[in-house]
Amino acid sequence: MHKSTVRQNGYLLLLVVFGLFIAWELLGFLSGFLGALTLYFFLRKPQDFLEKRYRLSKVKSTLLLLIGSFVLVVVPAGLIIGEVTARLAEVVSHSQEVLQSINAFITQQEQRFGFEILTTENLKQASAYVTVAASSMVGVIANSFASVAVMYFVLYFMLLNRRSLEAWCYEYLPLEDNHIALIGKELHSLVVSNAAGIPATAFVQAILAVICYAFLGVDDLLFWFCATAIAAIIPLVGASIAYMPLAVLQYTNGHSSQALVVLIFGIVVLGTVDNLVRLYIQNKWGDAHPLITIFGVIMGVNIFGFMGLIFGPILISLFILLVKIYMREFHVGGMTLPKDVAKENHVDL
């Protein structure tokens, strides 16, 4: 009995080491795997509908959904990101001119209010920071496109083998069926809340912002729409990353009234819309705690690049969910799962 336990533990250790080695080598493709998992939760029910309603084969329904998701999700996101990336590249190549304009504006304000805001040393540091930050952002966004190919490659086989994949989870994951069903249900809520709710909030703010900008006669509305949409995804600061530089730009061009309107509109209207839409998402789909979102974004961007804005909070929320499942599975701290949870969370295979 003792030898059998030793062999079992040794074999388990070998599996863990081997699995960690594989995971380490595939770490660069993790964002692609997570992207595939995200789209999988959105497309599994439409695929089932196409197969039952229109009698499509698995291959045809899978290809149709892949093409549709690419056109509706990847292409618009690529156009928005590409527009902002092009401008960031211009910032990198003309960073000195940009900072000189900022310095002229600050000097004007210093003379107006009678105290020093920015020293020469701080300006040099700002110049280096802007160049590094803009170059880094361009690289991060470019790497996100490399994950799209992996995402669709993995997603194709996940949809093609959907039923066997879900059956495999029930068969081999070391958890009770009701706990596996609970993980699937909670993971679906997390994915919908982050992958659909966050972009939806950003899109609403960008639409309202560009209407205001058009009314004020702001040039280059496409860029400011894209910049606001991307900025609104970032927690805490949000759309202010876009409308505050625009307000400063309007002020330096002599349009002080427009600058004031942009600033007030951003703080009052966009800020209110952000809170209202997020509250609706929280009530409709469930939303992560703000701290989870903040730290998830910080972690996610470092690991996955731009796509980490969505995947980071999902990973932290999933970790917390797994801790809860562990406590329920092994009755740690007296936590148990109600008997009706298995029926409530049942997933039809």
Most confident of 82-91, 121-130, 244-253: 244-253
The pLDDT value given to residue 347: 45
d(CA 47, CA 152): 15
- Tokens representing 316 are 């932290």
State how far Cα 13 lies from the chain centre.
Answer: 34
State the average pLDDT over residues 8-22: 87
**8 Å CB contact between 325 and 177:** no
Eight-class DSSP state of 220: -
d(CA 162, CA 185): 16
> How many C-beta atoms surround the C-beta of residue 305 within 10 A?
22
Query: pLDDT tens-digit profile of 110-134?
Result: 666 666 555 555 555 655 555 555 5
Q: Which of 96-100, 227-231, 345-349 has the lowest mean pLDDT?
A: 345-349
| 342 closest CA partner among 223, 177, 192, 194 | 177
Burial 67-77 (b: 16+ CB within 10 A, else e): eebeeebbeeb
| 306 closest CA partner among 36, 23, 80 | 80
The pLDDT value given to residue 89: 65
Query: pLDDT tens-digit profile of 168-223?
Result: 888 887 777 787 888 888 788 777 777 777 788 888 899 999 999 999 988 888 88
The pLDDT value given to residue 134: 54
Q: Which of 49-58, 119-128, 148-157, 217-226 has the lowest mean pLDDT?
A: 119-128
Eight-class DSSP state of 226: H
